[in-house]
Amino acid sequence: MDFKHAKRNRKLDRWVVVSLLFTFSMGLNFLISQINSQIDLSPDKKFSLSRESLALLNRMEQPVDLIVTLPENSNMPKIIQRFMHDLALLMDSLERADTPHPIRIHRVDFFSPRKKADVLDKYKITQPNLVVVASEQNGPQVIFRYKDEQGVNPYDASQAFRSAESIARQAIWEAGFYSDWKEVGNGILEPGMFRGEETLVRSILDLSIPSRKRKTIYFTRGHGESSPEDIDPTNGNSVLRGLIEDRNIGVSSVDLGTIDRMPNDALGLVISGPKGVFQDKEIALIRNFLNQEKGTLLLALDPVEETGITDRPALGLRPLLKEWGLRCHDMLIYDPKRENFDLFSGSYFLRTYQRNASHPLIKNLMNEGFSILSDRCRPVEKENSPGSPFLSKELIFSSRDSWALSNWTARSIPPEKNTLLDLSGPVPILAVSEPNPLKEVEAGLASAGKLIVLGSSKILSNEKLRSGAGNQALARNIIYWMDENNDMLDVPPRIVQSYSISLSDEQFDLLIYHFAIIPAGVLLLGLFVGWLRKEL
């Protein structure tokens, strides 16, 4: 046997093996890159869509676009960077979801000359720092908006300086993407749980059904009510208006004394903090809207101080409330416990819910331990008669130590309890009524709507919605319930515990060097061993 070329053949064999291994690894990587699949090995499948969300997304009737114009850079506030990280993981899951119609993800750098101008022009998006869900037939819906106004108070320029981080945290909180906010060092609130799946699935499902016509919620005027255009912290409802419009529902005002029937696109009617008496014609119009047009009435009544209108209790609305199995006494709730009352803001904390909390308006509020911020309240009780075609329920109450004062304008402070005329706590503050499904047909109420009554209009005021997580969650639930999106209320939160590491450029470079030490050492050792073998 000729061994003359044996050494050269062995080297050739090695290079052939190396080449084959290299081409095999490259081909394997290419094949893997073509497989759009992912295995979630995390505990409880934290980074995959829940089965409930997938079941809801299977009801999609058209494609949906998810457009993000928030830039991914280290100059953004830390809370925005954390939000972008959590949102990116969720968007990947949505894009891969097996749905009847695709969920198209568009990450757009708004200030880049090479941005995707087609999708921006299609939905007329003209601002950066947005998260938008849109469909061709229902249009766009902004679910997150961040105004980069460092050092500027967007509500009152005369107030104290606000940092970009503070403004970003408020935008994140108002959008409802996080919950379980807890105070850490320096009094800063940090979110503990990410609720993006719940928020995005609701918006996607809402916009992917083209058969749904855009509805409008009307606010009454002419009786001193709060206005949806008013930005006043105490008396305005502009924040509530924003929550409604963000869910692709229109908002308008109406004077009941000038119309004969509610507009055809009316989804609901809001009477927020009226101070004047409603006339018989207006009450008849509201009654017809409730009984015959499947409308929903949200009525928020404050305690009445004026003695000149007590001849018509509840501002003339008592007969209508009685028909629906509710009553709203002209009384004032008093609570001697200071832990239920904030001396500085004047807020009253409502923490007592209906037992078992089965009603969709408050189920998630009780499960997560939310408190509702209010101001002065009046009771809202149920009075179901045996043959009533309506089912009324009391949902939120004052504390056990409180009671409702009769003839409260003439009482001394602190008052003494009148066991004959006062109502003992817990006193109901929020109650609802809807047709009894067993009796609605025989009573001619097949087209009847729903009634929601609050004992304080301040629960939905701008100030309380901005500062109370429970108030904002309650407002969202009310909107979905008015829109008959009960399945939205039942979407279980896909809570993901988030972690973040903040590093400067120097720290990041140093970390890279530390991770590179071992591979570099192995490489140098291999080169040294190879050199020794050649020398030997």
Q: For the chain, what are the domain ranges?
A: 46-200, 238-482, 505-536
Asked whether the predicted pLDDT for residue 226 surpasses 90, the reply is yes
DSSP at 351: -
* Section 399-428 average pLDDT: 88
pLDDT of 490 over the 60 cut: no
Least reliable range by pLDDT among 13-17, 43-47, 253-257: 43-47
The region of weakest confidence among 234-238, 368-372, 452-456 is: 368-372
Residue 492 DSSP class: P
- Mean pLDDT of the 392-410 span: 90
pLDDT averaged over every residue in the chain: 81
The pLDDT tens digits of the residues spanning 247-273 come to 768 899 999 999 999 999 899 999 999
Q: Highest mean pLDDT: which of 200-204, 220-224, 405-409, 530-534?
A: 220-224
Provide the pLDDT for residue 348.
86
* Reported confidence tier of residue 297, pLDDT bands at 50, 70, 90: very high
CA nearest neighbour of 129 among 188, 79, 204: 79
Letter string b/e over residues 137-169, b meaning 16 or more CB atoms within 10 A of that residue's CB: ebebbbbbbbebeeeeeeeeeeeeebebebbbb
Give residue 38's pLDDT band: very low, low, confident or very high (50, 70, 90). low
Closest by Cα among 363, 382, 323, 359 to 473: 363
Given the candidates 3.40.50, 3.40.190, 3.40.30, 1.20.120, the CATH classification of the domain at 238-482 is: 3.40.50
Q: How far apart are CA 273 and CA 321, in angstroms?
A: 16
Between 78-82, 112-116, 335-339, 472-476, the lowest mean confidence (pLDDT) is in: 112-116
At 492-511, the pLDDT tens digits run 444 445 455 555 667 767 77
**Lowest-confidence range among 25-39, 145-159, 419-433?**
145-159
Q: Which amino acid is at 113?
A: P
Report yes or no: 326 and 353 within 8 Å, Cβ to Cβ.
no
Q: How far are the Cα atoms of 283, 294, 321, 391 from residue 290, in angstroms, in the given order?
A: 11, 6, 11, 14
Average pLDDT over residues 134-139: 86
Q: Is the pLDDT of residue 2 over 60?
A: no
In Å, the largest CA–CA distance within the chain is 124
Mean of pLDDT values over 189-209: 80
Nearest in space to 502 (alpha carbons), one of 128, 203, 77, 94: 77
pLDDT tens for each residue of 140-163: 888 888 876 554 455 555 555 667
Residue 494: phi and psi, rounded to 5, are -95, 85
pTM of the prediction? Answer: 0.65
Question: In the chain, pLDDT over 70 holds for what percent of residues?
Answer: 80
Per-residue model confidence (pLDDT) at position 284: 94
pLDDT computed for residue 525 by the predictor: 81
pLDDT digits (tens, 9 = 90+) for 107-122: 888 777 666 678 888 8
pLDDT at 212 over 80: no
Q: Are strands 403-405 and 193-194 parallel, antiparallel or unpaired?
A: unpaired
- The reported pLDDT for the residue numbered 160 is 55
Note the pLDDT of residue 342.
65
Q: What is the mean pLDDT of residues 21-42?
A: 72
pLDDT value at residue 498: 47
The residue with greater pLDDT, 198 or 462, is 462
Average pLDDT over residues 198-202: 82
pLDDT digits (tens, 9 = 90+) for 65-78: 999 988 877 778 88
Q: How far apart are CA 302 and CA 299, in angstroms?
A: 10
